[in-house]
Amino acid sequence: MTENTKIPSFDLTRNYARVKEEVNVAVLRVLDTQHFILGPEVEALEKEIAAYLEVKNAVGCASGTDALVLALMALDLKPGDEVITTPFTFFATVSCITRNGATPVFADVDPVTYNIKSEDILAKITPRTRAVLPVHLFGQMCPLEEIKDELKSRGIALIEDCAQAIGAHRMIDGRVARSGSVGDMGCFSFFPTKNLGCYGDGGMVSIADNPEFAQRVKNLRVHGAGKTYFHEEVGINSRLDALQAAILRVRLRHLEGWNEERRIVAERYMTLFAEKGLLELITPPAELAGGRHVYHQYVIRAQRRDELQKFLDERGVTSRVYYPLPLHLQHCFSYLGYAKGDFPVSEMLADEVLALPMFPELLPEEQERVVNEIADFYGVGK
């Protein structure tokens, strides 16, 4: 690697090289069957994901967005119903609430973990609250043990947005509780850049222990049909295809190892930041006690963020901003009546966060170069 080589924010080609032969076998297996939509490969993946998460059921669908749509459809939301969520997340989290006819209610986030704050959730509950939709952002679980029992006692559904956090867990009641296993349902994305990504679009809904939810989501993903051409209700077309399922089955076998490699990359960043004297100028992500962060993204808070990003780009280091405008300030949600200043932590993070290169195959020398460039920008560590 030369100093002129571009360092990507992620590199799927390196990862593919590690599993190419296994993936080729899986794809050819599907091609030989000529069974491409749902079917045995999808059923096998659903069972394997359910076993990995330690939940009763998992239902494959076409994308992470559809997973959210389907989970919320299963709740039979009506106009006037409220769903509490975070304004500091990807757009789909909130658009899926509005697409189901409900009203998003925002609660601010923690400046250390970037995740929605439990006390803020509880403060926003009203008689109209039907669900809470926390996002396990950037690979770290929210401490759902702080709200789960209270929500259950009030009859409020807990739907986890796990799109960025497959494999993350918390210790709850003395056991490992993976993301997607704590709430009533969990929603996963298999977009190619995710920790467990396929080679196209894909998603899944995990259902902890409610067989009625599981059957409902299965029906809703095929136009609301309990059996072919007999429709109990109006659903959507959101089927996971067999090729993606076969690829995911291969990649699932490697997920734990890849997540550990991401954690090693994160530890190395921390060491390099300390060695360069950068910890007064940037704030690394923090792992909450009792949890396991799987670093879907490695997101720092940085002084003069926009200038730093431009500096890094000019020197061949790719970085990204997740997310530049909180959802309560997006034009399409202006009808909700929120204004600048309503969620100060989310707004502060939008001005400060920067995602550095993060993927299992990121080389130590690439990380050193990233950190050296950051040190050069701030004029420290020389």
Pick the catalytic residue from 194, 218, 227, 276.
194
- 226 with 323, same domain: the answer is no
Instruction: Look at residue 229 in the predicted model and tell me its pLDDT.
Output: 84
Same domain, 123 and 72: yes
Higher pLDDT, 178 or 230: 178
Q: Using an 8 Å Cβ cutoff, are 88 and 297 in contact?
A: no
pLDDT of residue 4: 67
The gap from C-alpha 263 to its chain's centroid, in whole angstroms, comes to: 16
Q: Are residues 245 and 371 in the same domain?
A: no
- Residue 91's CATH number: 3.40.640.10
The parent domain of residue 169 ranges over 13-107+114-252
For the chain, give the percent of residues with pLDDT over 70: 98
pLDDT computed for residue 6 by the predictor: 94
Contact 166, 195 (CB under 8 A): yes
In the structure, what pLDDT confidence band is assigned to residue 263 with cuts at 50, 70 and 90?
very high
The pLDDT value given to residue 38: 87
Alpha helices (H) in 226-290, listed in sequence order:
242-252, 255-275
* Last residue of one domain, picked from the residues 252, 271, 290: 252
DSSP 315: T
Residues 194 and 283 in one domain: no
Overall average pLDDT of the 246-261 stretch: 98
Paired sense of beta strands 225-227 and 230-231, if any: antiparallel
Strands 82-85 and 103-106, bridge-based pairing: parallel
Asked if residue 196 belongs to a domain, the reply is yes
Using the predicted structure, report yes or no on whether residue 26 has a pLDDT greater than 50: yes
State yes or no: pLDDT of 353 exceeds 70: yes
Q: Do 204 and 282 belong together in one domain? A: no
pLDDT reported for residue 1 = 46
CATH at residue 362: 3.90.1150.10
Q: For residue 228, what pLDDT band results from cuts at 50, 70 and 90?
A: confident
Strands 230-231, 291-292: parallel, antiparallel or unpaired by DSSP? unpaired
Q: Is 34 exposed, middle or buried (0-12, 13-18, 19+ CB in 10 A)?
A: exposed
- Is 237 found in the same domain as 161? yes
Query: What average pLDDT does range 353-370 have in this prediction?
Result: 98
Look at the pTM and tell me if it is higher than 0.85.
yes
Query: Which of these three, 230, 252, 274, is where a domain ends?
Result: 252
Span of 64-73, 113-122, 211-220, 291-300 with lowest mean pLDDT: 211-220
Residue 2 lies in a domain: no
Nearest C-alpha neighbor of 321 from the set 348, 341, 351 = 351
* Mean pLDDT computed over 166-190: 97
C-alpha–C-alpha distance, residues 158 and 185, integer Å: 7
Average pLDDT in the chain: 96
Say if residue 358's pLDDT is above 50: yes
Question: Looking at the structure, do residues 71 and 90 belong to the same domain, yes or no?
Answer: yes
Q: Which residues contact 266 (CB under 8 A, 6 or more apart)?
A: 285, 293, 295, 298, 358
User: What is the per-residue pLDDT for 333?
Assistant: 97
Q: Judge whether 50 and 188 are in contact, CB under 8 Å.
A: no
Looking at the chain, list the stretches that DSSP marks H as alpha helix, in order from N- to C-terminal side: 12-33, 40-53, 64-73, 91-99, 118-123, 148-153, 211-220, 242-252, 255-275, 305-314, 344-352, 364-378
351 close to 344: Cβ distance less than 8 angstroms: no
Q: Is the pLDDT of residue 41 over 60?
A: yes
Whether residue 26 is contained in a domain is answered as: yes
> Is 92 within the bounds of a domain?
yes
Answer whether residue 8 is part of any domain. no
Is 194 annotated as catalytic? Answer: yes
155 occurs within a structural domain: yes
Write out the two tokens for 147. Answer: 């709200």
Residue 180, pLDDT score? 97
pLDDT higher than 80, residue 3: no
Residues 265 and 323 in one domain: yes
130-164 pLDDT, tens digit each: 999 999 999 999 999 999 999 999 999 999 999 99
Give SS3 for 189: strand
Rounded distance between C-alpha atoms, residue 307 and residue 294, angstroms = 28
pLDDT at res. 381:
64
pLDDT in tens, 78-125: 999 999 999 999 999 999 999 999 999 999 999 999 999 999 999 999
Q: CB burial class (10 A; 0-12, 13-18, 19+) of residue 291?
A: buried
The Cα–Cα gap between 19 and 247 comes to 10
Name the DSSP letter for residue 204. E
Domains in the chain, number = 2
Verify that 316 and 294 share a domain, yes or no: yes
